[in-house]
Amino acid sequence: MVLIKKATQAGQFVNSKHVDTLLSNYKKERWVQNSNHIGKADSLSVWYSLDQLQAFLDTAKATGADGVKMYFGVYDADTAGEEKYEDRQTIVLVATKAKELDNGVVIDKNVYTNTGNKPEIVAFNVGRLCPPTCTSGGGDTGFDLENPGILIDTRDNGMIVI
């Protein structure tokens, strides 16, 4: 008999300096290259309401999940929903359940539910991407005016503020 251990704990609350460092590192090390690659400003954030997240978490728990993986993804023409989201990165949340393997290693398996026809993954996506949809300062500005960002030297392409 294989005993399933309770999901291991991961994550902790962090301070503003920690967040600022992660975002600055991302902008310098990934965002500039991503944006150059797709030919427009890539998304820097994905927003979901607390009610939406709670509904997803309630659904995940009801299907036996004990955790959530957050995958990075990229919209294509079929998944974007709106043309302005096409080619931009997003985050998809997938319900998981810890499972202990015979060798004692615990893995987090994606959770599926039976929809009648076939099993379907318990997942959540389609948040509000910024850019292109940033609400600080009024709409589709492409900039989060509350967090003006940092100056980046893109070498051959000059300086940009993100």
Q: For 91-109, what is each residue's pLDDT tens digit?
A: 999 999 999 888 888 899 9
- Give the Cα separation of 83 and 63 in Å (integer): 33
- The DSSP line for 76-124 is -TTT-SSGGGTT-EEEEEEEEEEEE-TTS-EEEEEPEEE-SSSEEE-EE
CA 70 vs. chain centroid, Å, equals: 6
Q: What is the pLDDT of residues 104-155, one digit of tens each?
A: 888 999 999 987 888 999 999 999 999 988 865 444 444 444 555 544 555 5
pLDDT at 86 over 50: yes
List, in order, residues 6 or more apart from 32 with CB less than 8 Å away.
152, 154, 160, 162
- The mean pLDDT of 14-42, rounded to a whole number, is 91
**How many beta carbons lie within 10 A of that of residue 107, not counting itself?**
10
